[in-house]
Amino acid sequence: MIISNEQKKAAEQITSTTTMIGTGTTIDGNIDTTGNIRVEGVVLGSVSSKAKVAVGNGSKVQGSIRAQHADIEGEVRGNIEIGELLTLKKTAVINGDIVTNKLVIELGAFFNGKCVMGAATRNLKVADAGKGFFSLSEATRKL
């Protein structure tokens, strides 16, 4: 398949956009985006991005997160699946399982769940974002 320069530029532009869920905003439903997303409010559902998900301090996601990269400062009640780097900041509270390639946990972050890293993430294709989430048992079977 040959990709033109115009198609490459369009793809770069899509993944460079950032969607913001502001403080005081509650979204009841799933979010699926090709670009970056920053949550400063509350999401009652899953968040899926082909790029980066950021969950700000004091914000909440009650559902799964799936992305290429993620920075978490707030609370997540659900599983997290990251293709590359997941960073849990010192104010992060995670209640759920994690599947990621690389993980950084700052002193003070709270994580209650199971974690699978490295080889198990080879089959995690963020390009398929929004097509369903792995379970931790699926990830460990692929080792």
Asked whether 103 and 84 are in contact (CB, 8 A), the reply is: no
Measured CA to CA, the distance from residue 6 to residue 63 in angstroms comes to: 36
The pair of structure tokens assigned to 133 is 């989430």
Q: What is the pLDDT of residues 61-113, one digit of tens each?
A: 999 999 999 999 999 999 999 999 999 999 999 999 999 999 999 999 999 99
35-45 average pLDDT score:
96
Measured CA to CA, the distance from residue 80 to residue 114 in angstroms comes to: 10
Q: pTM to 2 decimals?
A: 0.78
Q: Is the pLDDT of residue 124 over 60?
A: no
Residue 86 backbone phi and psi in degrees, to 5: -115, 125
Measured CA to CA, the distance from residue 107 to residue 57 in angstroms comes to: 15
CB atoms within 10 A of CB 125: 12
Q: Is 46 exposed, middle or buried (0-12, 13-18, 19+ CB in 10 A)?
A: buried
